[in-house]
Amino acid sequence: MRRWLVGGAVIEGPEGILLVQNQRRGGRIDWSPPGGVIDDGEDVLTGLSREVREETGLIVTRWEGPIYTIEATAPDLGWDLRVEAYWAVDVSGELVLEDPDGIVVDAAYLSHVACCDRLRDSHPWVAEPLTEYLDARWSGTRTFGYHVRGTEPAELVVTRL
């Protein structure tokens, strides 16, 4: 089983929550909070700060959280995913798209309604935790669990645990 640790950033600006548009293999497009895979030997907040800077040009100097965590297991695809999502408290810089991985192709600050609309085509383990957080803005950390069956991206069966 391949295991990933991912950091996710919840960044709010005057126009709303920042989402990035990702171009996946095979041409699939989805939206998500900025963030990405934490490198071996890197702590989550260092890696998350790096990922946000690489994807958006923004510099985050203070985080709170995690506000939620996600555990997703996809045995048919051979992976386990853990996501820790943090609230960006102090953010500076201008939004600039220069993702060295070439995955992030757009970004926008979106209202709650627009954010939920853009997340509609994202995997449930991406969309549900963020939209539920935006609905409730809880304190502390909530954990979300998912079991993923199948091998074809368009035909995955995702069960929330």
CATH T-level topology, domain 2-160: Nucleoside Triphosphate Pyrophosphohydrolase (3.90.79)
Q: Which residues face 149 on adjacent strands?
A: 157
pLDDT of 54 reads 94
How confident is the model over 60-94, as pLDDT tens digits?
Answer: 999 999 999 999 999 999 999 999 999 999 999 99
Low-confidence ranges of the chain (pLDDT < 70): none
pLDDT of 99 reads 87
SS (H, E, C) 33-87: CCEEECCCCCCHHHHHHHHHHHHHCCEEEEEEEEEEEEEEEECCCCEEEEEEEEE
* Of 35, 41, 94, 82, nearest in space to 63 by CA: 35
**Domains of the chain by residue range:** 2-160
Place of tokens 């500076």: 92
